Amino acid sequence: MNKRIVAVAIVVLVAAVAIVAFRWGIIPGTASGTYYTQIDNTKVESQEPNGGVIDFTGGMPWRYTLTCYNEDGDMQELSFGTERQLRDGAYLRLDVVPIRGVIGWREVQFDELPSAMQPHVGE
């Protein structure tokens, strides 16, 4: 009986730590919501498929890692793949979910950026 109580307590503790880590963003890739960024083609990398059973590149030959901001002005470094190099200086709206990361993006105009992000443009 004591072993069972200890096992349950450990499972509950591990689950609580994981929830707190995800909520506070301690675990990478846990950002979620809408983020905005500006394309900087000096921060794009060409990526090759690894030839394994699972293609972790998503079939995308280009990978961007950019500083992004949400509507509150909170900064997050995000990476995402693209099929082509994007227009340098373009503004993007990124749709982000926990674990999976960026699941979609579209180009936006400067006046569509949240006011909290506009001071960071060009950094």
DSSP letter string, 57-82: TTT-SEEEEEEEEETT--EEEEEEEE
Around 94, how many Cα atoms within 13 Å sit in the side-chain half-sphere?
30
Residues 25 and 39 sit within 8 Å (Cβ to Cβ): no
DSSP letter string, 1-70: -HHHHHHHHHHHHHHHHHHHHHHTT-STT---EEEEEE--GGGEEE-----SSS-TTTT-SEEEEEEEEE
State residue 38 phi and psi, 5-degree precision. Answer: -120, 135
Q: Domain spans of the chain?
A: 1-27, 31-120
Q: Are strands 44-46 and 101-108 parallel, antiparallel or unpaired?
A: unpaired
Residues with Cβ within 8 Å of 99's Cβ and at least 6 positions away in sequence, in order, are 29, 30
What global pTM score does this model have? 0.68
- 105 pLDDT higher than 60: yes
Which numeric CATH code is attached to 31-120?
Answer: 2.40.50.480
Q: What pLDDT digit, counting tens, does each position of 1-13 carry?
A: 688 887 777 888 8
Q: What pLDDT digit, counting tens, does each position of 12-66 carry?
A: 888 766 665 555 444 555 678 899 999 999 999 887 766 555 555 567 789 999 9
